[in-house]
Structure formats: structure tokens, C-alpha cells
Amino acid sequence: MFKWFDPMVRLVTAAIVIATILPATGMLHELVQDISNVAVFVLFLLYGLKIARGEVWAGIRNWRLLLPLTLFVFGVMALAGWAAWQLTLPLLPATLALGFLYLGVLPSTVQSATAYTSIAGGNIASSVIAAALLNIIGVFVSAPLFSALAGTSGEGFTSSTLVRVMTLLLLPFVIGQAAQGFAGHWVKGHRKATSLLERGTIGLAVYTAFSGAVAEGIWHRVHLSDWGLLIAACGVLLVVGYGGAWLLGRMLRLNHADQISVVFAGAQKSIAMGAPLATVLFPPASAGIILMPLLVYHLAQMVVAAPIATRLREG
């Protein structure tokens, strides 16, 4: 049901293949980038409309779960991404290695974290609220946290970058929150359409970013041995993510259902946030290559999450 047949896995794979065969370059890339920016604006407007303000406040009040989970996602995992960047920097192309840091500072998924929590018999409500709130926090902190940890090696969180992030991510989300009273019901009544738009935006963002990577010669710059190290490093980060989130739940002495929610909300990384943000934050020549660790991690987390969920349900 999940694994490689998951719609998001197929979407990301298709975007990479199409970008490899038919990359958008020159003026076409600028056009696709503009379309992608509009789609990102609409996507975060929908996020603002979908996440009920009541759920946001309810999640915030559950500080015993939210605070440690936030520190894990944006603290422990960010430091793990920083360590992976530093350790692979002498062995991988610099931009590719920097992608591990970008992976580390991203929030968790919402849809798949909730789906796997349900399969494992966890607390679905806690999972939805925690993952949604982590994504809200990510809108505010992921980009500046990346810039702070990357230092002079990163692209830098400049005033122009701040304007792009606020215009394409924060502004539409705030508008969506404010417009819930008269537009929120439309989103709830058109779930299939909004889901297609969300997936289309993610696919377009991956295609746009990877087109830039193809134009920069990613298949020639990244050798076979580099791919092996990339996959191995992502595997280590998966162990840190799932193992660390499980230990966090044990340390907090949560019940089994809430502990499951923490595992999937803490360990998974969001391509729904990562791909659009990368096209806003990085220049076309860098975005696709920086995204590679996230793409590998995302595909791997889809594969390993199903057996982990089954094991947690049985345990």
C-alpha cells in the first residue's frame, strides 16, 4: 500500500526523471520558476486555510509533548544534519554535502506521519496537531536556522531572502488563517482538488530545482561512490531520527499511543516544506543539488516507515 507505490514517491521520482530528460533551462526555467512561486504562494494559503486555529491553540497548550518534540526536530535533528554535513564535506561535492544541513533543519511531514501513526495504532489527533504545528514553526525558523548553522558556507539569509520567504510562505499562511471563517469550508469540501494542488506544487518545485541541478551537470559531478555515501549518510540520519524520537518518548514517559505519534512526527522530514522552500531560498544552480539528501531521505523514510509502523502496532 505504501512503500514505493506511495503517490508522493511516484511524484518525486517522476519529477526527477522528467527534469533529467527534459530540464527547464534559460528563459523556460525562469518561466517555470515564476509559476512555481505562484503555486507555492497558493499552497501555503491552503495550509493557512486547512489548519484550524482551534487545533493550533490546543496543540500549543499540550506543551509537555510539543516543546520536547520541537527541540528534537529543530535541535537534535538540525545538529545531526550539521554533523553529517561536516563529516561528508571532505568526501562529497560541497553543495551536495550542505544538503544534509538543509535536511536537518526541516520540519516533519503531516500526511504520512499521520498515516503511519494510524497504521501503528498511535494517537492520530496528537500526530496531526504536532506535525502541523512543527510545519508552522518551520515556516518561521527553518531558513534562518539553516543560515545560522551554515555560516559563510551557506547562501546566507539576506534581506532579499527574508522578503521572498515572507512573501511566498508567511504572508499566504497568515492570510489563510485570517480567511478561515468564510473560505475554510471551501477547502474542507474540496479535499481532492486541494490534495492535487499540493502534490502538483511539490512536483513542480522538485522539477524546477532539479532542472537547475541537471543544467549544472549533477550526473557528472556526483559520482557512483558519492551516491553510496549519500545513501549511507541518509541511513544514519534515519536511525538517529527514529531511534532518537523513540527514546524521547520513553524519556517523557508517554503512553504507547503518544509515543508512536512522537516517533513519526519527530523522525520524518517534509518534502512538502523542503522542495518549495529550496526554490525560494537557493539560486537555481544550487537548489537541486542541495535537495538531493532530502529526496533520498524522503524516499527511504517511506520505505522504512511501513515495517516500523507494523512492528509498533504488534508491540
- Cell 543539488 found at: 289
The set of residues, in sequence order, having a beta carbon less than 8 Å from that of 37 and lying 6+ positions away, is: 168, 279, 280
Q: What is the pLDDT, as a whole number, of residue 7?
A: 67
The per-residue pLDDT for 177 is 78
Give the C-alpha separation, 184 to 51, whole Å.
9
pLDDT reported for residue 26: 81
pLDDT score recorded for residue 78: 96
* Amino acid 224: pLDDT: 82
State the Cα–Cα distance between residues 37 and 275, nearest whole angstrom. 11
**Nearest to 138, CA basis, from 293, 301, 273:** 273
Res 2: pLDDT: 44
Global pTM reads 0.77
CATH number at residue 32: 1.20.1530.20
CA–CA separation, 96 and 216 (whole Å): 12
pLDDT value of residue 55: 61
- Range(s) of the domain holding residue 194: 3-314
pLDDT tens digits, the chain, 315 residues: what are they? 444 456 667 777 888 889 889 888 888 878 887 888 888 788 778 777 776 666 666 656 767 778 888 999 999 999 999 999 999 999 999 999 999 999 999 988 766 677 678 778 877 667 767 777 787 788 788 888 998 898 766 554 555 656 766 777 678 877 887 887 777 677 777 777 777 777 787 788 778 877 877 877 777 777 888 899 999 999 999 999 999 999 998 998 888 888 888 888 889 888 777 888 887 788 877 888 898 899 889 888 877 887 888 888 876
Total structural domains in the chain?
1
